[in-house]
Amino acid sequence: MKQIISTVNGWVTELNTFLQGLVVLGVVVGILFNDYFGVIGGIGNLMGQIGESGLAGLVALILVVLWYKK
């Protein structure tokens, strides 16, 4: 059972790393080619929604950052 959890954890870590790379690539492409895919706009909308929700949004953002650093 421990090995299965370790394997799944490895897959999730690899997927997370891959998705981070895609986001960075999307931002770079957005900067170079006038946000063709809307990545920068999507990130801006997400940050706007977090800002609109006040303290709950701040707590959610802190939890996501802490979870990510774990």
pLDDT computed for residue 3 by the predictor: 92
Distances (CA, A) of 53 to 4, 37, 45, 50: 38, 26, 13, 5
Tokens of 11: 């897959």
Domain count, the chain: 1
pLDDT computed for residue 56 by the predictor: 81
19, 13 contact by CB (below 8 A): no
pLDDT computed for residue 2 by the predictor: 86
pLDDT computed for residue 6 by the predictor: 92
Place of tokens 């997370």: 16
Q: Where in the sequence is the domain holding 62, given as residue range(s)?
A: 2-69
Instruction: Give me the residues of the chain with pLDDT under 70, please.
Output: 70
pLDDT computed for residue 70 by the predictor: 63
